[in-house]
Amino acid sequence: MAGGCLALALASLTAAGAAQETPSAGGWRAFEGSWAVSGQRYTVPVEGGATAAIVEASGAVALAKADGLSHGFRGEAVTFDDGRGVSLGRAVWTDEHGDRLFSRLQGEPLETGKRIVGTITGGTGRYAGLEGEYSFTWQYVLSAEAGAIQGRAGRLQGRVRRNATAP
């Protein structure tokens, strides 16, 4: 599946226009795209018949509109679902130069149709001093044997700007 995710991301990049926009008021620059992932889900039962889970996932982040960002990243995330409908986690997107963009994740459990919100907390290299936000909705999540998962997040939309206190 990893090869398929990469092929999907590359096809998305080829088909997408690379038009750059000027920053809006406040220096915000918009981006949008998708994130295809595969990974593992580890679960434990909790009271009331629910299940808490830790999810480790990674895959291609393909940005069709990426003003100020790379068009492709390797996205990695670790999240915790408390079994009561709340998920928290952290993500890092790494571009082809090794520069990273860090974020906190919060939202609903890893299921088809559920929404996640990310808060960009900084980065390295060309992304040092960036702040911002993004959100996406899981278009599909497939669970296989032994906790393996695959999914695709669509409608990934967000914005970034240089933090006013950054050098």
Mean of all residue pLDDT scores within the chain:
86
d(CA 12, CA 39) in angstroms, rounded, equals 21
Tokens 């408390």 belong to residue: 82
Beta bridge partners of 79: 55, 89
pTM above 0.85, yes or no: no
**Confidence category of residue 24, pLDDT binned at 50, 70, 90:** low
d(CA 141, CA 139) in angstroms, rounded, equals 7
What's the pLDDT score for residue 55?
A: 95
pLDDT digits (tens, 9 = 90+) for 131-143: 999 999 999 899 8
